[in-house]
C-alpha cells in the first residue's frame, strides 16, 4: 500500500524514507477516450478548444484534465448539450427586454428581465450535470452521446428566486403540483411542436431553490448556456434547467412534451420510455478523479478530484489507488459553496513504480455512498458508480 501523506505533517521531499510498496493487481475499469473533433461550432467559438471534446455541434464535453482542482468551472470550459439549436443571438443583444410569463399563480403576468432585476437577488453555486453524464460507462451500449464525466461543471448562478416572484404574484394556484418551464427556442415548421419543444416539469417542492438566473460566474449568461435568462433548478439534472426561459407555469400535470413524457425516464434495459417510469430529476452523490491522469515517475503526487451530493451536501470522499482494495479519506480543498456545489478534494500519496487504479467514492450527509457499479437503465442516465471511471496509470 502506498504511503498516504498527511499534508498537515512535515512534507517529505526527495530523500524521504517512505515505506511505499507497489500497488497490487486490480480489475481494470473502462478508460474510454472520446474522439476529438477539430473546430468549435460558431456559437461557442469563444470557448477554449483544448479543454473540450466535440461530440457534435450541440454536444461538447469538458475534458477530464480541464477540471483540475477548481472550485468553479469557467464558462469557457463548461460542457454544452442542446436538445435543439439555440435561438438567434439577437436575444442577448437587448437582455433587459426579455420577457417571461408566469402562469398558474393568483395574478398571472408577463415580466421583463429589467423588472425581475428589481424583485430580488440570490447567488447559488451548483453542479450542472447532463442526465446522460457517464453514459459511456454502461455495458449495454445505450444510444445517445457517449459522455464520460465531462458533461458536468460547478457554476455560480445569480438571479431572482422564483419564490419571490410567486409571492409578488399572490402565490401558487390551488392544485398545482409542478413547476413547468418552457424554453424560448424557435421550433422548426411542419413538425409536431410537442415532439421537439423544450418544456420540463419538476415537482413543486423544487420551487424553494429555483432561480431565474441572468448571470453565470459573474457575467451575463451566454446564449449557448441559456442567456439572457435561464431557469436553474439546483440539484436537478441539466435538462431541467430550461434555457431561454419564456414561460413558467404552475401546473397540475407534467408537461405533455415528449422531452417530459417519454424521454429522460429511467426504465429497465429493453423498455420504451413513458410516463410510468421515474423522470430524471434529482442527482445522486458522485465523485471522480481529476488527476493524475497520465503515467508518471515515482514519488509524491497529489491525487485530486471533485465530489458532490446532488441535493444533499457531500460529506466525505475516500480515494483508492488500488482499484478499491484499500481506501483513504481525502481532504476537501477550497470553500464550501453550499449543498448543491461540488467540492474539490485531495489526497497526497507517494507512489513507487507499479500499476495503479485511482478511484474515488463520495458519501453524502445522509449516508448515501456511490455504488461500485450502477444498475443499467435503457437510456444510460444518472451513472454514479465509482469503479467504471477509474484511472489507470503506470508509475516508473
- Contacts with a copy of itself, residue ranges (CB under 8 A): 7, 10-13, 68-74, 76-77, 117-123, 125, 156, 158, 164, 167-169, 215, 217-219, 299-302, 304, 333-335, 337-338, 344, 346, 348
CA atoms of 207 and 181, how far apart (whole Å): 11
Nearer to a copy of itself, 132 or 228 (CB): 228
Nearer to a copy of itself, 118 or 276 (CB): 118
Q: Considering the complex, what minimum distance in angstroms separates the CB of residue 216 from a copy of itself?
A: 10
CA atoms of 74 and 72, how far apart (whole Å): 6
Q: Considering the complex, what minimum distance in angstroms separates the CB of residue 298 from a copy of itself?
A: 12
Q: Considering the complex, what minimum distance in angstroms separates the CB of residue 52 from a copy of itself?
A: 13
Q: Considering the complex, what minimum distance in angstroms separates the CB of residue 279 from a copy of itself?
A: 30
Nearer to a copy of itself, 163 or 263 (CB): 163
Nearer to a copy of itself, 68 or 274 (CB): 68
Q: Considering the complex, what minimum distance in angstroms separates the CB of residue 43 from a copy of itself?
A: 17
Nearer to a copy of itself, 110 or 195 (CB): 110
CA atoms of 172 and 165, how far apart (whole Å): 10
Q: Nine-digit cell at 148?
A: 464520460
Q: Considering the complex, what minimum distance in angstroms separates the CB of residue 87 from a copy of itself?
A: 22
Find the angle CA(64)-CA(67)-CA(68) to the nearest 5 degrees: 110
Q: Considering the complex, what minimum distance in angstroms separates the CB of residue 335 from a copy of itself?
A: 5
Nearer to a copy of itself, 183 or 300 (CB): 300
CA atoms of 17 and 81, how far apart (whole Å): 49
Nearer to a copy of itself, 239 or 393 (CB): 393
Q: Considering the complex, what minimum distance in angstroms separates the CB of residue 178 from a copy of itself?
A: 23
Q: Considering the complex, what minimum distance in angstroms separates the CB of residue 173 from a copy of itself?
A: 17
CA atoms of 260 and 275, how far apart (whole Å): 8
Nearer to a copy of itself, 122 or 177 (CB): 122
Q: Considering the complex, what minimum distance in angstroms separates the CB of residue 24 from a copy of itself?
A: 23
Nearer to a copy of itself, 58 or 164 (CB): 164
Nearer to a copy of itself, 163 or 258 (CB): 163
The answer to whether the bond into 292 is cis (omega within 30° of 0) is yes
Count CB-CB contacts under 10 A for residue 263: 17
CA atoms of 190 and 244, how far apart (whole Å): 22
Q: Which residues pair with 210 in a beta bridge?
A: none
Amino acid at each position: 500500500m502506498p504511503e498516504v501523506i498527511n499534508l498537515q505533517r512535515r512534507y517529505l521531499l526527495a530523500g524521504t524514507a517512505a515505506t511505499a510498496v507497489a500497488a497490487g493487481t486490480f480489475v481494470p475499469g473502462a478508460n474510454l477516450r472520446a474522439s476529438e473533433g477539430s473546430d468549435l461550432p460558431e456559437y461557442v467559438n469563444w470557448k477554449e478548444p483544448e479543454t473540450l471534446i466535440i461530440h457534435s455541434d450541440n454536444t461538447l464535453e469538458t475534458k477530464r484534465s480541464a477540471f483540475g482542482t477548481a472550485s468553479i468551472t469557467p464558462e469557457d470550459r463548461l460542457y454544452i448539450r442542446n436538445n435543439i439549436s439555440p435561438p438567434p443571438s439577437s436575444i442577448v443583444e437587448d437582455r433587459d427586454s426579455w420577457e417571461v410569463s408566469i402562469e398558474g399563480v393568483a395574478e398571472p403576468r408577463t415580466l421583463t428581465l429589467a423588472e425581475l432585476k428589481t424583485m430580488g437577488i440570490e447567488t447559488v453555486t451548483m453542479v450542472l450535470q447532463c442526465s446522460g453524464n457517464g453514459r459511456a460507462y454502461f455495458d449495454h451500449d445505450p444510444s445517445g452521446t457517449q459522455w464520460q464525466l465531462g458533461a458536468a461543471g460547478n457554476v455560480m448562478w445569480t438571479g431572482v428566486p422564483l419564490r419571490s416572484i410567486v409571492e409578488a404574484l399572490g402565490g401558487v394556484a390551488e392544485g398545482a403540483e409542478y413547476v413547468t418551464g418552457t424554453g424560448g427556442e424557435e421550433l422548426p415548421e411542419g413538425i409536431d411542436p410537442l415532439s421537439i419543444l423544450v418544456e420540463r416539469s419538476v415537482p413543486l417542492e423544487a420551487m424553494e431553490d429555483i432561480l431565474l438566473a441572468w448571470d453565470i460566474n459573474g457575467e451575463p449568461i451566454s446564449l449557448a448556456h441559456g442567456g439572457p435568462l435561464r431557469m436553474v433548478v439546483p440539484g436537478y439534472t441539466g435538462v431541467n434547467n430550461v434555457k431561454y426561459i419564456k414561460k413558467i407555469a404552475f401546473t397540475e400535470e407534467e408537461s405533455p412534451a415528449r422531452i417530459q413524457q417519454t424521454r429522460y425516464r429511467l426504465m429497465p434495459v429493453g423498455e420504451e420510455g413513458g410516463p410510468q417510469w421515474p423522470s430524471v430529476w434529482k442527482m445522486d452523490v458522485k465523485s471522480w478523479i481529476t488527476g493524475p491522469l497520465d503515467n508518471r515517475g515515482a514519488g509524491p503526487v497529489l491525487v485530486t478530484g471533485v465530489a458532490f451530493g446532488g441535493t444533499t451536501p457531500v460529506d466525505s470522499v475516500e480515494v483508492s489507488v488500488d482499484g478499491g482494495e484499500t481506501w483513504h479519506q481525502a481532504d476537501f480543498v477550497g470553500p464550501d459553496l453550499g449543498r448543491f456545489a461540488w467540492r474539490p478534494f485531495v489526497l497526497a500519496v507517494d507512489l513507487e513504480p507499479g500499476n495503479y487504479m485511482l478511484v474515488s467514492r463520495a458519501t453524502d450527509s445522509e449516508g448515501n455512498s456511490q455504488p461500485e457499479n450502477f444498475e443499467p437503465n435503457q437510456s444510460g442516465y444518472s451513472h454514479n458508480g465509482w469503479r467504471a471511471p477509474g484511472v489507470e496509470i503506470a508509475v516508473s
